[in-house]
Amino acid sequence: MSMSDSDTSSQGSDYKNFRQVIRDRLLYEMLRSAKSKDSKSAWKVLIMDKLTVKIMSYACKMADITEEGVSLVEDIYKRRQPLPSMDAIYFIQPTKENVVMFLSDMAGKSPLYRKAFVFFSSPIAKELVNHIKRDSSVLSRIGALREMNLEFFAIDSQGFITDNERALEELYGDDEGSRKGSLCLNEMANRIATVFASLREFPLVRYRAAKSLDPTTMTTFRDLIPTKLAAGVWNSLTKYKSTLPHFPQTETCELLIVDRSVDQIAPIIHEWTYDAMCHDLLNMDGNKYVHEVPGKAGGPPEKKDVLLEDHDPIWLELRHAHIADASERLHEKMTNFVSKNKAAQMHQGSRDGGQLSTRDLQKMVQALPQYSEQIEKLSLHVDIAGKLNRIIRESSLKEIGQLEQDLVFGDAGTKDLINFLRVHQDVTRESKLRLLMIYASVHPEKFESDKLSKLMELARLPQDDMNAVYNMRLLEGSTDNKKSSLGPFSLKFDVHKKKHASRKDRTDQASTWQLSRFYPMIEELVEKLNKGELPKNDYPCMNDPSPTFHGTSQSASIQANQVSTPHSMRSRRTATWARPRNSDDGYSSDSILRHASSDFKKMGQRIFVFIVGGATRSELRACHKLSTKLKREVVLGSSSIDDPPQFITKLKLLTADELSLDDLQI
């Protein structure tokens, strides 16, 4: 079982981004390789299981699959029509159930298909291979039997998930250290390793170390999660190193494994970019948005499912822009379109210069059929931005967002939160809960007093919301924040001298939009990793780097230093809701589109960050931003990607029963 010879590592001359590599492997290495010269039909059947369907759908469009000769896509567990003149491609997990189903399809005198090309998503056990080999009638009908080593979802051009949606519950819940937790870590480790097998990258593996490995403090299973996961990934990688042809023997990239304890605030705080706001506020199902368009001939409105993905150029341009910036840009696009088109101006004139409604845009589509796709895309995003701005206005989100960020940066404290809860009693329950969760994260010592319970009474939060706040403790890890029980003599003499903050303002950031001070902690960690400044005690290596490894070499540091630093410092309290139109921090949406294609060709070695327990949109955006800044493709991986409502629901399911190290088998 072998892999393709095509060079996909970051050392290759023809550089492709993360998702392009995955797409190419599925389309060309798998589907195209199944072409049979002696086949009577050029068309093939593609058979997948529940997981591999998702792997394929995240990386490829149906049109791509059809172009490679697939006329029918089938579920391996559904009853299927025999097509004995056609070849079949099986893309399946290497489970006993799947192998049994495959054998029943192809065995006997009347197989369902002429020939089978079988591709497994991860390494298959020897006993299952032997099980296949024992059936001589099937053996002669197998055109290929290979391991693709591709068992993750490429959710973004620089992001993937391992589809462990219940990782938070299974690893941090009351049953921690159980068989469920170990199985979850093993599966996650194997799936992370397939990322490196797919890209043919061999990483320097670093991880967040447990902080309390000393005789006086109890070390829990939770503390050891990154350590155990790093060990699992390393075990799989060493197997690939010895079994996969063309797998690198020295390090080609860097992998940093952390968990949610490095940043409890990122999954909860309101993030103000267009992408994050859509997923946070619009009840989207994954990337699917339900768009209401006016009905034909004055009928009732029609609902249309729209995918907010990379194939939409407006989405691609605006997704990482601040909502105020995105709204301005959409207004400019619409104004430019109207000013250049007489028919559109006629419709605009009938509105007396007011803003275009969705119905006006529908009329423009009918009047200008040649621009229908362009107008429909604009109409969609004008509608979405309008909805978001209405929610922001009606929910007092600017005031909430300001307090959230002031709490994080130490510019607000307990009194400010109490005053806000008293004055804004009509604020939604979820917004109050998120404020309290941020407060609890910045002030973990309040768990020991009755301060939190009094705040929750003031906010009128029910018990299950209170559980979410108290369960924040499970994500603390054993950090320095726990050193709060210093006894009755720990008088706070420096209370006015030192602010209680969980973030420092970034002095290297240009003055930007209000409510965009917040940044996820992985931004700081990746920058330190890139400079070679990540502390070895806190983030040890699984493997000592080879002498030839240049991930943190002098040349990389020089390259990083050559990136121009914005000369103006970020304002402490930016009062404006707008940024000068001529500013270009190298990460505006125009800059991305302008530089993306050329920049990737000059990229250095990849950096991978994996977060156990769910990643956020802000962390994914940070990886895009850092790729531009550091000139190295930064890829984010996680067990899942969670929007605040999802993450809070998961936190409510946790409870706080601790296990000691003696109860565990490491």
Q: Express each pLDDT in 23-57 by its tens digit.
A: 999 999 999 988 766 555 689 999 999 999 999 99
Locate 645 and state its tokens.
């409502």
Locate 99 and state its tokens.
């192998």
Locate 111 and state its tokens.
């197989």
Give pLDDT, residue 597. Answer: 45
Locate 389 and state its tokens.
């701005």
Closest of 446, 444, 439 to residue 410, by C-alpha = 439
Residue 19 clears pLDDT 60, i.e. is over it: yes
Q: How far is CA 219 from the centre of its chain?
A: 29
Residue 392 clears pLDDT 80, i.e. is over it: yes
Q: Which of 557-561, 565-569, 602-606, 657-661 has the highest mean pLDDT?
A: 602-606
Which residue matches tokens 């709490």? 407
Of 216-230, 249-263, 355-369, 564-578, the one with minimum mean pLDDT is 564-578
Tell me the β-bridge partners of 637. 160, 610
Closest of 624, 664, 618, 654 to residue 276, by C-alpha = 618
**Per-residue pLDDT reduced to its tens digit, 237-262:** 999 999 998 899 999 999 999 999 99
Q: How far is CA 467 from the centre of its chain?
A: 26
Q: Which of 10-19, 202-211, 594-603 has the highest mean pLDDT?
A: 202-211
For 238, residues 6+ apart whose C-beta sits below 8 A from its C-beta are: none
Tell me the β-bridge partners of 607. 254, 634
Residue 589 clears pLDDT 60, i.e. is over it: no
Residues 163, 54: contact at Cβ < 8 Å?
yes
Distance CA(339)–CA(274), nearest Å, equals 26
Distance CA(283)–CA(24), nearest Å, equals 32
Residue 557 clears pLDDT 50, i.e. is over it: no
Work out whether strand 153-156 and strand 253-259 pair parallel, antiparallel, or are unpaired.
unpaired
| Higher local confidence (pLDDT), 545 or 351 | 545
Tell me the β-bridge partners of 258. 611
Strand order in the sheet with 253-259: 153-156, 159-161, 632-638, 604-612, 253-259, 203-207
Give pLDDT, residue 41. Answer: 61
pTM confidence score:
0.83
| Higher local confidence (pLDDT), 263 or 370 | 263
Locate 46 and state its tokens.
């593609």
Distance CA(164)–CA(31), nearest Å, equals 27
Instruction: Name the band, by pLDDT with cuts 50, 70 and 90, for residue 221.
Output: confident
Give pLDDT, residue 45. Answer: 96
Residues 37, 280: contact at Cβ < 8 Å?
no
CA distances, 541 to each of 192, 204, 518, 629 (Å): 17, 7, 29, 25
Amino acid at position 220, single letter: T
Residues 655, 174: contact at Cβ < 8 Å?
yes
**Per-residue pLDDT reduced to its tens digit, 432-461:** 999 999 999 998 887 777 777 888 889 998
Give pLDDT, residue 582. Answer: 38
The Cβ of residue 306 has, within 10 Å, a number of other Cβ atoms equal to: 20
Q: How far is CA 455 from the centre of its chain?
A: 33
Residues 400, 427: contact at Cβ < 8 Å?
yes
Closest of 162, 153, 148 to residue 117, by C-alpha = 148
- Tell me the chain's radius of gyration from C-alpha atoms: 27
For 449, residues 6+ apart whose C-beta sits below 8 A from its C-beta are: none
Of 59-63, 381-385, 487-491, the one with minimum mean pLDDT is 487-491
Angle between helices 521-531 and 554-562 (to 10 degrees): 130
For 399, residues 6+ apart whose C-beta sits below 8 A from its C-beta are: 420, 424
Strand ranges in 529-631 using DSSP code E only, listed in sequence order: 604-612
